[in-house]
Structure 1
Amino acid sequence: MVHCVFRLDDGVALLPVLHGSGDFALEVRRFLLNSRWDCLAIPLPSSFRAEVLTAVRMLPLISVVAAEEGNDNDSMWNYVPIDPCQPVIMAIRIALEEYLSIEFIDRETQIYEPESYVFPDPYSLKTVSLEKFCAAVLPTIQSPIPGSQQHARILTMTNELHQLRSQYKNILCLCSLAHWPWLRDAYHARTGAPESEPFYAPVHSYPVRERSLAFVLGELPYITYLYERSRRELLPDENLSIDGIKELVIESRGEWLRKHEPLHNWVTPLRLQVLLQYVRNLTLMNARLTPDLYTLALAAKQVCGDTYAVSLVETAKLYPFQHIDDQEGAAFGVGKASFPAGDVGVVKNRLEGAPVVWKNLPLKRIPEKEKQTQWRQRWNPFGICSWPPEDRRIESFNTHVRETAQALIGAGLARSEKFTSSLKDGLDIRETFRNWYTNNLYVKEIPPSRGTVEMVVFLFDLPADPQKYTFCTTWYAEHEEESTLSFYSTPIGEQFVGPGVAQCLYGGCFFLFPPRYLPDIWREREFMQYHTLEERLLAGAFFHSEQKNVAVVSPRPPLAAWKLLARKYRKKIIPIPLSRFSQQLVDRLRVFHVLNGKVVRSYAGRFIREM
C-alpha cells in the first residue's frame, strides 16, 4: 500500500527520490513491484523518450543521452545518465519489464538550469520508512521562485499528470525530493503552466568510457557493478551500499597483491579490520552513514600505505560490463565532456544527485617496470648508503629493545620476601596469593642488573630463505648515534621506487651499540661453517659481543641450536618475543631503502612511500 502522504488522489501517487542513490533505486523497485500501476510518469522531457528507452534496454552498458543547448557563446549539453543506480532509470527498467506505459512529463527547456540539494544519507532508508524520511527533510526544502524555470517545470508536470489522469487509473509519478511538496500543492491548485518556447535540440546517445564513469554515476562504478552482478545472478542487494564497500576493500587487496607483488604483505586481515573501523569513524565525523571515495582513499593511505590506496581508487573505478573502445565513447570530467564527434563543452546532469566536492589527495605510485629497468641499469654498486629518516626510526626502536632487555636481566634476579615496613620494588601478587592463608603480604626486590646489552639481534623471518635474502653485508656507523649494523635482506635490484632508490626487506639483522669496527661476518672464515642465515648472524653477534648478554628478538623461542651457539661463545641469550611489538611497527621497520650515493638523499623523499 502507498502511504497517504504520497497520494495526490485515488489514481495518482508521487514518489519522491534522491537522484544517484542506489538505496532509493531499491525503494523505487519495491514500490513498483508491490503495487499495481498502469502508467509510470518520468520527470524528463518527451524529446529524450526514444533515446532513453533505447539506452535503458542496452544496460548494463552505461551511456548518456545528451542534447545540445541553444547557446551561441559556449558549447553546452544537458544529459541523462543511464545509470542502473539512478531511481528514474530503475523505474524505467522495471516498467519495461512489466509492460507499463511510460510517459515523459517534464518541460522542454532550451537552456537547462541544474539544481543541487543536500539531503541526509539515503542509507537511513534501511531503518527509516520513506514517508518518515521525506517528512524529516520537508522543513528544509525551499519553495521555487515564481517565474523561475523550476517553478515552470513543476506547473508543466502537474498539468501533464492531470491529462494522464483521464487515460490511466493508477499512475506513479517519480519526482525529485526537492519538488515533491510543491508538485503536490500545484496539482491541487490546478495552476496553468506557461507556454514553452519552440526550439529544436537533437538528442543523441553515447556510451561512456570506463575511466570516465566516476564522473557520471551516482555510486562508485565498482558498487554499480556489484548491483548489476547481483541483478544478473539473482543475489541479494539490499545492503550493497555497505557490503559493497567491504568487497571493494578485499578486491583492492587482491589487485594490489597481483599487480605489485610486494616484498612483504602487510595488508593483513587485521589491518583491513582497522581500515574499516577508521573508515566508519571518518564517515561519522563527516555526518554521513556511507563513505565516499575520498574517505576510503584517505583511510587506505593512512592505514595501508600509498600503493594500496592507489589500488583501491583504481578498483573503485572498475566496471567490467563496459566493453567499449575508448575511441568510441564519451569522456567526462568535472563539469565537462568530450563526445566522439569531437565536440567538447560544459555538461549539466538532469538527474543530479548530492553535490560532489572534489578534494586533492597526493598518492605515490609504484613506478612502471620500464622505469625500474632504466634505474636498475644506471645503478652503481660501489656507492650505496642508507636513508637517514629510516636510520633514526630503527635506531630508536633498537634503543627501546636494549632497554627492555636490560630490564629483563634484572627481572630474572628478583626475589620475594614478607612485607615488613617497605614495599621495595612493588607487591608480589603471585607470592601473596600462594600464601593467602597466612594473611601476609609479600613484596619483591629486584637487585641492580649486572652487565649491559650492546648487541641486539632481530630475526624477522624464520626459517630464512637463502634464495630470497641474498643481500648480506655489514654497514658501519656514520656518527656516534648510529649502531654498527650487519644484516641479510632481499637484493637491491629487486624493486626500485625512484632513480637511485632501491627498496629492500630485512630478513634478519643485529645492531652493535656503541658502534665500533668489526669485520664483515658474511666474509669471515670463522662463520663459514654455519649454513643457515640466522645461525650465521647469531654466531657473529655472539662472537663480537663484549658483553655476556645478547638480546634476541624473534617470532619463536630460542632453538636448541641457538643455545648451543651461545654456550660455545660463552654468551647468554635474552629472549624477547617479536609479538611483544605491534605487527604494523615491525612491518614498517622491516622495509628500508638503499640509496645510490649520498647525493640521492637530497631528493629521495619524493619517491619513498610511507607504509
Structure 2
Amino acid sequence: MPHRLHLEQFGPVHAIPILHYRMEFAHLVREAVARLKPDCICIELPPTLRSAFLRGIGRLPEISVLSYETKPGSKTEAAQNIYLIIEPADPLVEAARLALEQDIPLELIDVDLDDYPLHDEALPDSYAVQRLGLKAYYDEFVRAARATRPGKADLHREKGMAFHLQNLSAKHGRILFVCGMYHLERIKTFFVHPQGEPLAKVRRENVRLFNLHPDSCREILAEYPFLSAIFELRRGELPPEPATDGLSLRKQFNALELILGGKKDVPEEEVLRQSVIRSTRHVGGEGEMPDRQRVAYRLFLETARHYRQETGEPVHIWQKRAFFRFARNYALTSGMLLPDFFQMLAAARSCVDDNFAYAFFRLASFTPWQKVESDIPTILLHPEDLWAGSRRIRFRPKEQRRGKGLSPLAFLRRKKEKRPGEWLEGFDNQSICSYPPEDLIIEDYGRFLKQKGAKQLSEEQSRVEPFSASMLDGIDMRETLRNIHEGRIYVRENQRVKGGVGGIVVIFDEDRGNDRYPYLMTWLGEHAQESDMAFYATPPDDNIVGPGISRCEYGGFLLSYPPRRMLDVWSDGDYSFARGKSEVLLLAALDYSPENHVVYVAARPPRSYFRQIAARLGKKIVYIPLGSLSPVKLKKLRVFHILYGHDKREIAKDYVW
C-alpha cells in the first residue's frame, strides 16, 4: 500500500513515529498493532493522568477533555489550565483504545512537567504519508529537524521515556512505542545507554474529565468532525449506505421536513448523520487508510446535495472546479498540500455563496455522538483557551425578504402544520394557478430579455466607417483607437432592426437524462399584461410548503406574446422530432411568435438545424449565453410556486419564502 507501515526498532521496542492529532497516523497505529501483535503498548503521556485518561478513552466515540492546572513558575506567573482533547483521530488515543479493546498492557511513560514550553513547529502535511509512505516521510522529517536544538525540558522527557522503555524491555518481548517523531531519534540514542530514573511528579492533583460541548467540537478539534466521524465509523465493519431519500437541511427552522403521504419532522442530526455514513464507503477500500482528499470531495458533494434541496440551486461544475482550485492555492500559501477546515470554508463562501458555506460548515462540524447531557460535567471551550490564536469567518445566509420595520427573526413565525397531513387537505382543488408576485417578476425579466435581444441585434447590424461628412450615431472609440496610427476618427451607424421579439426561451438545465424535471405544463395569461407560458419543472409534490402550495424549480420556460393563443406544446405532434424539452420550447416559440425574432437563453446555442427552421419561417433566433446574465437574478427567477386553487392566493404570502 502507498501508506505502508514503518517501525523504528531498538531492542524489543518497535517505535512508530507520529504527528499528534492527525488521522493518518491514527490509522498507522491500527496497522502497527495488527501487524506487530505487541505484548505491551507504550504512549507518550505521563502516568499521573492515567486514571482520567482511561476513563475518557472508555467514553469514545464521545469526545472528552482532560484538564489540570500547572503550578506557577514564579510569584509573578499565574497558574495555567492545561486541556488535553481525547478525540478519535489522535494516534495516542487510538493506541490506548486498541490496548483496552484487545486487553494489551498499556503504559504511559512520559515525564510530567509543569514548565514545558510551547513549541510552534512547522510540521509537514500529514497527507504526504498517504502518497510517500511513513519511512520516506520520517526520513525527510529527521533530515529537516537535525538543525533544531532540543530544549532542557525535551531532553529531560526523552531520557525519562528511554529509562521506562529500558525497564519494560526486561518484561516484554514486543513493545509498541507510539511517540512523536520530534523525540524519537534522541530516545533511540538514550536507550542504548543506561539511564537514571528522572525527577518527575508521581501524583497530580485536580485532574478532571469533562464532556466537550457539541458547539466546541465545531471549533477546537484538531481534525474537523466530519473527518473524525468517518475515521470512527471505519474502525469497525462498514455501515450500510443509506438511500438518498430526499432529506434536506432547513437552516431557517433548524429541522428537516419530509413529505411522504404526509408530513413529519426529521431532526437535522439524522440527516447529517446519514451524510456521514453515506460518505464512509467512498473514501477508500475496506481496511485502507481514509484518503483525506476524497473525504473533502465527499464533503463537498454532500453539501452540494443539501444546498440544492435547500435553495433550489445546483452547484455548477465551474463552481466546483473553482472551489477546489481556490482551496488548493490557499493551502499552498501556508505550505500545506491540502486545505484545512477554515480554508475550505473560505473557498466555499468565495466560490459559491454564504448559504453553501453555512451548509458546508454545519455538515463538516457535525459530531454524530456528542451530546450536551452526559454522566460527567460538560465544558464549553473556545480556540483561545487552547491555542495562541484563532481565525474567524462570518456567514450571511440569505433569508426571506423583510420589509421596513420588520423583525429580522420574522421568518421564525412562519406557519407550520398543526397536525401531520394538514397541508395535504389543501389540495382538494384541481385547478391550479400561479403566485401573482412571481408573475410580475418573470414578466419584468421577460421585458428585460426582449430589450437585451433587440440591442444585441442592433449591435450586430451596426456599421462603422471613417468620419467624412456626418457623425452618424457617434464616435466609435474602440475602432478609432484600433486604427489610431491612421490618424482618422471612426463613427458608428446603428441600423434599425425590423420587427420585434415575440418569444423568450430560457433554459436553465437541458435535462438530458429526462428525469430531473418531469413536470410539464402550459399556462395561458390571465390578462393582457401577461404572456402565455410553457415550462418543465420539478414535481409539485416533491416540496409542499403550505396548504395547497407547492414549491418548484424551473428547468426551462417559454414566454410568448401576446397571450391567450398557445395550445399544450407538450402534446403537440408537430414537435415530436425534438430531441429534448429545450428544443420543444424553442420550436413552440418559433411557431407562436408573431414577430420576426425569438430570444433563446441557454448555456449553449441551439443546433444549426433550428436556424434553418427559423429562416424558413422568416424568423431569426437571438442567442444570449446564460453565463452573461446575473446569476443572482437567475437564482431568484428559477424558483416558483404552484397554488391549487385561486383561494390560496390570499394565504400564500404566509408560506412562500
Q: Distance in 2 between matches of 1:471 and 1:193?
A: 93
Q: CA deviation at 1:398?
A: 7.8
Distance 1:45 1:564, change over 3 A: closer
One-letter code aligned to 1:251: E
Q: Distance in 2 between matches of 1:159 and 1:225?
A: 37
Q: 1:371 aligns with which of 392, 396, 410?
A: 410
Please tell me whether residue 576 in structure 1 is matched to residue 627 in structure 2.
no
Cα deviation per residue 1:222-255 (whole Å; 9 max; x = unaligned)? 1111111222333445234122112211222333
Does the 8 Å CA contact 1:51/1:65 hold for their aligned counterparts? yes
Cα deviation per residue 1:437-466 (whole Å; 9 max; x = unaligned)? xxxxxxxxxxx9773676586433699989
Q: What does residue 35 of structure 1 align with?
A: 36
Cα deviation per residue 1:460-514 (whole Å; 9 max; x = unaligned)? 3699989999999989xxxxxxxxx999999xxx9xxxxxxxxx99987999xxx
Q: CA deviation at 1:135?
A: 1.2
Q: Distance in 2 between matches of 1:472 and 1:465?
A: 22
Cα deviation per residue 1:109-160 (whole Å; 9 max; x = unaligned)? 23553334221111111221312211112133255545x3222111211111
Does the 8 Å CA contact 1:144/1:150 hold for their aligned counterparts? no
Map 1:188-267 → 2, pairs under 5 A: 188-192=192-196, 194-196=198-200, 200-234=204-238, 235-258=286-309, 261-262=310-311, 264-267=312-315
Q: What does residue 297 of structure 1 align with?
A: 345
Q: 2:394 aligns with which of 362, 378, 388?
A: 362
Does the 8 Å CA contact 1:227/1:237 hold for their aligned counterparts? no
Q: How many residues align?
A: 474
Please tell me whether residue 159 in structure 1 is matched to residue 163 in structure 2.
yes
Q: CA deviation at 1:361?
A: 3.0
Q: 2:506 aligns with which of 460, 471, 474?
A: 460
Q: 2:140 aligns with which of 136, 153, 156?
A: 136
Please tell me whether residue 588 in structure 1 is matched to residue 632 in structure 2.
yes
Q: Secondary structure of 2:342's match?
A: helix
Q: Distance in 2 between matches of 1:200 and 1:99?
A: 26
Does the 8 Å CA contact 1:43/1:106 hold for their aligned counterparts? yes
Map 1:423-572 → 2, pairs under 5 A: 451=497, 455=501, 458-460=504-506, 527=563, 555-556=582-583, 559=586, 561-566=588-593, 569=594, 571-572=595-596
Distance 1:510 1:531, change over 3 A: closer
Q: CA deviation at 1:284?
A: 4.0
Distance 1:453 1:182, change over 3 A: farther
One-letter code aligned to 2:298: E
What is the TM-score when the length of structure 2 is the normalising length? 0.60
Q: Secondary structure of 1:119's match?
A: coil
Q: Secondary structure of 2:113's match?
A: coil
Q: CA deviation at 1:533?
A: 12
Distance 1:397 1:195, change over 3 A: farther
Does the 8 Å CA contact 1:16/1:175 hold for their aligned counterparts? yes
Distance 1:311 1:357, change over 3 A: farther
Q: What does residue 310 of structure 1 align with?
A: 358
Please tell me whether residue 320 in structure 1 is matched to residue 401 in structure 2.
no
Q: Distance in 2 between matches of 1:455 and 1:168?
A: 89
Does the 8 Å CA contact 1:558/1:575 hold for their aligned counterparts? no
Q: Secondary structure of 2:20's match?
A: coil
Q: What does residue 428 of structure 1 align with?
A: none
Q: Distance in 2 between matches of 1:98 and 1:469?
A: 72
Q: Secondary structure of 1:233's match?
A: coil
Q: Distance in 2 between matches of 1:78 and 1:468?
A: 68
Q: Secondary structure of 1:56's match?
A: helix
Distance 1:83 1:157, change over 3 A: same
Q: Distance in 2 between matches of 1:317 and 1:70?
A: 34
Distance 1:289 1:472, change over 3 A: farther
Q: CA deviation at 1:209?
A: 1.4
Q: What does residue 52 of structure 1 align with?
A: 53
Greater relative CO, 1 or 2 (CA 8 Å, sep 6+): 1
Q: CA deviation at 1:288?
A: 2.1
One-letter code aligned to 1:246: Y
Does the 8 Å CA contact 1:306/1:364 hold for their aligned counterparts? yes
Q: Distance in 2 between matches of 1:469 and 1:505?
A: 17
Q: What does residue 500 of structure 1 align with?
A: none
One-letter code aligned to 2:302: E
Does the 8 Å CA contact 1:227/1:240 hold for their aligned counterparts? no
Distance 1:98 1:532, change over 3 A: same
Map 1:80-95 → 2, pairs under 5 A: 80-95=84-99
Does the 8 Å CA contact 1:266/1:587 hold for their aligned counterparts? no
Q: Distance in 1 between matches of 2:636 and 2:528?
A: 14
Q: CA deviation at 1:221?
A: 0.4
Does the 8 Å CA contact 1:266/1:304 hold for their aligned counterparts? no
Q: CA deviation at 1:44?
A: 0.6
Q: Distance in 2 between matches of 1:375 and 1:50?
A: 51
Q: Distance in 2 between matches of 1:2 and 1:586?
A: 52
Q: Distance in 2 between matches of 1:221 and 1:167?
A: 39
Mark the runs of 5 or more structure 2 residues left unpaired by the alignment.
Answer: 239-285, 401-407, 416-436, 463-493, 509-516, 538-542, 544-552, 571-580, 605-624, 638-657
Does the 8 Å CA contact 2:64/2:86 hold for their aligned counterparts? yes
Q: CA deviation at 1:177?
A: 1.5
Q: CA deviation at 1:172?
A: 1.9
Q: CA deviation at 1:97?
A: 2.6
Does the 8 Å CA contact 1:125/1:133 hold for their aligned counterparts? yes
Q: CA deviation at 1:201?
A: 1.9
Q: CA deviation at 1:66?
A: 1.8
Q: 2:119 aligns with which of 110, 115, 126?
A: 115
Q: Distance in 2 between matches of 1:487 and 1:579?
A: 21
Does the 8 Å CA contact 1:405/1:453 hold for their aligned counterparts? no
Cα deviation per residue 1:279-308 (whole Å; 9 max; x = unaligned)? 344434543222211221122122221100
Does the 8 Å CA contact 1:474/1:487 hold for their aligned counterparts? no
After superposition, the CA RMSD in angstroms is 4.9
Distance 1:77 1:453, change over 3 A: farther
Distance 1:192 1:467, change over 3 A: farther
Q: 1:180 aligns with which of 166, 181, 184?
A: 184
Distance 1:506 1:582, change over 3 A: closer
Q: Distance in 2 between matches of 1:174 and 1:555?
A: 62
Q: Secondary structure of 1:114's match?
A: coil
Q: CA deviation at 1:364?
A: 0.8
Does the 8 Å CA contact 2:42/2:106 hold for their aligned counterparts? yes
Does the 8 Å CA contact 2:503/2:558 hold for their aligned counterparts? yes
% identity of equivalent residues: 18
Does the 8 Å CA contact 1:123/1:241 hold for their aligned counterparts? yes
Q: 1:77 aligns with which of 77, 81, 99?
A: 81
Distance 1:192 1:335, change over 3 A: farther
Q: Secondary structure of 1:207's match?
A: strand
